[in-house]
Structure 1
């Protein structure tokens, strides 16, 4: 049980204390499931109160004029898709660490959208606005995608002169029946290719396949810019955009550590707009 590991106690101790807490408040706070505990509605309400108490407790030193640091402290779990997490966010969180060294980022990647209502994460950065009760969702930026290929592939197969030539080429794409988020199947914004020679659920694997000369791929600029072996294809003609949504549950949006992370992400995407959307 993750909670037991974090508290450095036996999992039976955590289960016993949860049971004692439920008896003391005379309410069921968790649903027990094979994959762990999930907060009930009563649990969410109590969690919000506990978070508010923590926030107040952390402000005591500041109110009393104590020299103890009042900087935001603790972990913040950020959920995002593999590509934007690995190729963009992970390195840039170093900037946040310089200004807020006591915040620990946990960057979680899944093929499906993480459920903020069930507290699987604190903050979500995604190309799709997540669904759920009491979520605060806003657009913080956009990314551009473009067609790319390896020089070796273009030397062998030729460079498309226009979008009408694309069906004569091989493509790298997602594994269709394993796509959990339809909006990341962005190649369909351009065409439904007749020849797909390589598929992967991983954007990193797709980019590696394109760079190896498998075929043409539709890749985010933030991803392709890290691979000098890639050449843009029809960059003026093929333009695919996706909005970036920042989401947080309203119960925790006021917490200092969460507020610091959401401010950082908002500023980051505004600052890097040209990097994310222009060649």
Structure 2
């Protein structure tokens, strides 16, 4: 698609981004604090400027067309560039400082967040960051954290959430385990292997049962409620386990097995309290994390 010479209205691009990320005009209107007809007019104007259709409408929901999906990547780059430009300009007269508390799952805190924090330190070197390892949203509601990275959309009305990515998980094992026990190739092979549990064994048994693999408690002789501890067991060659691909690719001591197994697909939601979302400091970290996680999952 050739957009050379096209003049963009940034408000129209923001409406497009919000609609693509939220999945409907009404949800985009809530995020941008505008009316649904206004969002619709802005997207229609953008489509007219570009000469393409960006969304297919189906009832209250919308779906990106091929042109829309191509546009989405460019629009996200525009948002990142605009954010960086704003930081550079504001940094000349006012530094961004203070403390921001970010909560995520233990595994994400250990393997994914450090890379994100490197980028954050580049754009806001005076900012203080406290990473809170937790798996629920109570910390946000009680103001024990400012921003949460979660895999389910929060339902609490006082929380603001943005879907930043859809990611996948596959089955992984250490080479030492595969050398000792053999490499499972088919789904049927998995019945003879050891698995590491991440707390809820019944959910893992149910997942594999849906895939046609009948596992039992005997397959899960080791595990931990600590995600990092359980993943360390996998890295040490004690068994197989499912893991988010963006975590596993940071761990050269494991490799993916059983390509026939359907991947687990799950969303990544970025959440904050609505009252905090208007804070310049919180909004900076929120937007930077959103862009980082979107690219990292891809």
**TM-score, normalised on structure 2?**
0.62
- Partners in 2 of 1:188 and 1:101 — Cα distance? 46
Residue 204 of structure 1 corresponds to which residue in structure 2?
Answer: 228
1:105 counterpart residue number: 129
* Structure 1 stretch displaced more, 235-244 or 117-126: 235-244
Unpaired runs of 5+ residues, structure 1, are 1-65, 275-279
Match of 2:215 in 1: 193
Residue 133 of structure 1 aligns to a residue whose secondary structure is coil
Q: Deviations over 1:201-250 (max 9, x none)?
A: 12222222112221111112222223222121113533112100011111
**Aligned positions, number:** 203
| 1:56-112 deviation per Cα after TM superposition (whole angstroms, max 9, x unaligned) | xxxxxxxxxx99732332111111111111100123212111111222111111243
Partner of 2:98: 74
Name the residue aligned to 1:132: 156
- Residue 195 (structure 2) aligns with: 171
- Residue 141 of structure 1 contacts residue 244 of structure 1 at CA under 8 Å; is this kept in 2? yes
**Mapped pair 1:143 → 2:167:** yes
* Change over 3 Å in CA distance of 1:68–1:166 after alignment to 2: closer
Q: State how far apart, in whole Å, the 1-side matches of 2:269 and 2:228 are.
A: 21
Which residue in the other structure is 2:247 paired with? 223
2:259 is the alignment partner of 1:235: yes
How far, CA to CA, are the matches of 1:135 and 1:207 in structure 2?
A: 31
**Structure 1 residue aligned with 2:9:** none
For residues 155 and 123 of structure 2, what CA distance do their matches in structure 1 show?
32
Distance 1:156 1:67 in 2: 56
Which range moved further: 232-241 or 249-258? 232-241
Distance in structure 1 (CA, Å) of the matches to 2:204 and 2:245: 13
> In the TM superposition, what is the alpha-carbon distance from 1:266 to its structure 2 partner?
1.2
Please report the RMSD computed on the Cα atoms of aligned residues, expressed in angstroms. 2.4
In 2, distance between residues paired with 1:148 and 1:75?
36
Change in 2 beyond 3 A, CA 1:187/1:252? farther
Which ranges in structure 2 are unaligned for 5 or more consecutive residues? 1-89
Matching of residues 15-164 of structure 1 within 5 Å? 69-164=93-188
The CA distance in 2 between the partners of 1:119 and 1:267, in whole Å, is 24
CA shift digits 1:10-65 (9 cap, x unpaired): xxxxxxxxxxxxxxxxxxxxxxxxxxxxxxxxxxxxxxxxxxxxxxxxxxxxxxxx
Q: Cα gap change, 1:188/1:88 in structure 2, threshold over 3 Å: closer, same or farther?
A: farther
Aligned counterpart for 1:264 among listed residues 267, 288, 291: 288
**Alpha carbons of 1:114 and 1:188: their partners in 2 closer, same or farther (altered >3 Å)?**
farther
